[in-house]
A and B are shown apart, each in its own frame.
Chain A
Amino acid sequence: MNGADWVVLLGTIVGIAAYGSWRTRHVRSLNTYLRGNASTGWGTIGLSVMATQASAITFLSIPGQGFESGIGFVQNYFGLPLALIIVCAVFLPMYRRLNVYTAYEFLGQRFDEKTRLLGAGLFLLQRGLAAGVTIYAPAIIISTVFDWPLDLVIVFTGLLVIVYTVTGGSEAVALTHKWQMAVISAGMVTAMVVLLLRLPAGLGLTGAAWVAGALGKLQAVDFSLDPSRRYTVWTGVFGGLFLSLSYFGTDQSQVQRYIGGASLREGRLGLMFNAMLKIPMQFVILLLGALLFVFYQFAPHPVFFNQAEWRRHAQDGRFQAIEAEHAGAVVQSQSAIRAWLQARASDDTAREASARAAMVAASDRTHAIRAEAKAALVAADPRAKATDSDYVFITFILTQLPHGAVGLLVAVMFAAALSSKASELSALGTTTTIDFWRHVRPLAAADEARNVRVARRFTALWGVFAVAFALFAGFAENLIEAINILGSIFYGVLLGLFLVAFFLRRVGGSAVFFAAVIAQALVIVMYFSLNIGYLWYNLIGCAACIALSVALQAVLPPRAGVNEGRRG
């Protein structure tokens, strides 16, 4: 990074944070602090929902997933548009009608206080733990690549987001999201354009797609019914539907983004904006990763992309031998790809098939050497970080992009980290204030200024907790999966609570409360004892909560009265 990169990086990141703080420094109204500006339109809501979901991990790990495993991960998002339609039609109108600050207030209205506290508690547990991961994830990668102190990156990111989120609350979050999404869009378009320009002459986008496809990177959909496969159309549509319904319908960090706004229409259109754009957007990011794979078939690249980790351990002749073997395999792979491209152009089917087999064999050999390198790292130090897919895109950025653009792409990572973190902190502070603090201080609800002060303190407290968690905890290597797994363990039951609330009017608070506790214990036991795709836990947790609620309601005394929370 040179001076130009630093100017772009600090100018965008600190500039947006300062602008957000300054514009919202006078926020005194509880409604504005917790729900945002009452005149917010659908465009801002849509971008805010998108920015909340798009964490730094999205832009670091997902191109790496495309590089390593191909674009099949896109199926993970197949349930999202369906979930957003349900949220628009059922959840959002109810939240606005009840005029709630948090989704869990609805549970209190529909059932009772203990169920509301259980829902809010599950959210705080899941999101509070994830808050540490979302701040740690980009920090570890950026600090490793640039050789910056990890603690400094965590503290810098944490303080920046705490300042503007505490100052302006939900309004500052929505305001900064717009500009952060602008930086992210500009950066990703720049990266894609540079990547296409850097492909070998004559190959182009179509040629690169043919190579990526022949090497197994472009299987976007898989209709297999094998339950052990992590990403298929079915896990995406069914597991993804439940995950997305939980996330968008019951996770306060998302609910808070769309319950404010000028009208119900603005929230609905903002969500539909996401329903239409999310899959194409994720496809493009994954395609970027698959094209990076093709690019590195022709360009020199390290056997292990996390070079800092490699240099730390690769100190004997065995590692140098692996590097030399890899360099030779890459040259052979390049020749095999060029031979296949020529054979493909010749219309000779037999020659093409033979050249394709040779190309796949050469690619498999390169892959095997990379696996050997990872095994050697673990053999040298069992605690070594043996996955490097998160480092592929950042390596490309640093080695191939011109100065200025490098700063912009690093700003993309920070903008994404700050945008998702800000929503989390605002939601954690809001839920703690509204669902817990007001529960023990019911008389304080009327004092608006005091509520805003308390919400600010809780938001700051969660920020400090997230920073401390990131500083002192160790995390799983594949960070995006760590967050998704954590979400899948808790989200299913939380969604079950809401689905019972919306659709099973006969079920009362005690039945659903104990059903949720048993279902959550069941999911945790299953996670530690079974080997199935983690997305299924969303469905299992939700189904268990609903089925147990119905069963328990059948044996418990009938409810004294029906209070579905559907009254106008």
Chain B
Amino acid sequence: MTPRSRPDEAEPPGVPGFGTWRGVYLFVFGWFVVVVILLSVFTAIFS
């Protein structure tokens, strides 16, 4: 086990529209919130 240097930690996500990993995490969190809201609406409609 040899510790590596850190260059790839600064690597940008390389995803169109996202300059930082924080942006990617916020997007995924937002997606999760949307999914829970959609499931709540689904429950309200069909239950």
Give A contacts to B, CB under 8 Å: 74, 78, 81-82, 84-85, 88-89, 93, 96-101, 105, 109, 209-210, 212-213, 216, 218-221, 233, 263-265, 268-269, 272, 275-276, 279-280, 283, 567-568
Contact status B3-A276, CB under 8 Å: no
Q: Per-residue 0/1 for B27-47: is the Cβ within 8 Å of any A Cβ (1 yes, 0 no)?
A: 011011001100110110111
Contact status B46-A272, CB under 8 Å: no
Whole-angstrom distance from the CB of A92 to the nearest CB of chain B? 10
CB neighbours (8 Å) of A280 from chain B are 35
**Minimum-distance CB pairs A-B, first 8:** A213-B46, A220-B39, A218-B46, A81-B32, A264-B8, A263-B8, A219-B47, A220-B43
Choice from B9, B31, B42 contacting A220 with Cβ under 8 Å: B42
Contact status A89-B21, CB under 8 Å: yes
Contact status A85-B3, CB under 8 Å: no
Q: How many A-B residue pairs have CB under 8 A?
A: 86
Known: A82-B29, A99-B4, A264-B9; 15 extra A-B contacts, CB below 8 A, are A81-B32, A89-B21, A101-B1, A218-B46, A219-B43, A220-B42, A263-B11, A265-B8, A268-B21, A268-B24, A269-B13, A272-B24, A275-B28, A568-B3, A568-B6
User: A212–B47 Cα gap in the complex (Å)?
Assistant: 8
CB neighbours (8 Å) of B36 from chain A are 78, 221, 233
User: A97–B31 Cα gap in the complex (Å)?
Assistant: 29
Contact status B3-A99, CB under 8 Å: yes
Given contacts A97-B6, A567-B3, contact A221 B43 (CB under 8 A): yes
CB neighbours (8 Å) of B25 from chain A are 85, 88-89
Choice from A96, A218, A272 contacting B28 with Cβ under 8 Å: A272
Q: Number of B interface residues, CB 8 Å? A: 28
CB neighbours (8 Å) of A78 from chain B are 32, 36
Where chain A touches its partner, the secondary structure class is helix
CB neighbours (8 Å) of B2 from chain A are 99
Within residues 2 to 25 of chain B, which ones have a CB less than 8 A from any CB in chain A? 2-6, 8-9, 11, 13-15, 21, 24-25
User: A84–B5 Cα gap in the complex (Å)?
Assistant: 24
Contact status A212-B1, CB under 8 Å: no
CB neighbours (8 Å) of B42 from chain A are 218, 220
CB neighbours (8 Å) of B3 from chain A are 97-99, 567-568
Whole-angstrom distance from the CB of B39 to the nearest CB of chain A? 4
User: A109–B2 Cα gap in the complex (Å)?
Assistant: 11
User: A241–B38 Cα gap in the complex (Å)?
Assistant: 20
21 residue pairs A–B, Cβ–Cβ below 8 Å = A74-B39, A78-B36, A81-B28, A81-B31, A96-B8, A98-B1, A105-B1, A209-B46, A218-B46, A218-B47, A219-B43, A220-B40, A233-B36, A264-B8, A268-B21, A268-B24, A275-B31, A275-B32, A276-B28, A276-B31, A279-B32
CB neighbours (8 Å) of B29 from chain A are 81-82, 85
CB neighbours (8 Å) of B9 from chain A are 93, 97, 264
User: A89–B24 Cα gap in the complex (Å)?
Assistant: 11
Whole-angstrom distance from the CB of A360 to the nearest CB of chain B? 12
CB neighbours (8 Å) of B31 from chain A are 81, 275-276
Contact status A213-B47, CB under 8 Å: yes
CB neighbours (8 Å) of A82 from chain B are 29, 32
CB neighbours (8 Å) of A233 from chain B are 36
CB neighbours (8 Å) of B35 from chain A are 279-280
* Nearest chain B residue, comparing its CB with the CB of A265: B11
User: A276–B31 Cα gap in the complex (Å)?
Assistant: 7
CB neighbours (8 Å) of B6 from chain A are 97, 568
Given contacts A100-B1, A265-B11, A568-B3, contact A218 B21 (CB under 8 A): no
User: A82–B26 Cα gap in the complex (Å)?
Assistant: 10
* Nearest chain B residue, comparing its CB with the CB of A85: B25
Whole-angstrom distance from the CB of B23 to the nearest CB of chain A? 11
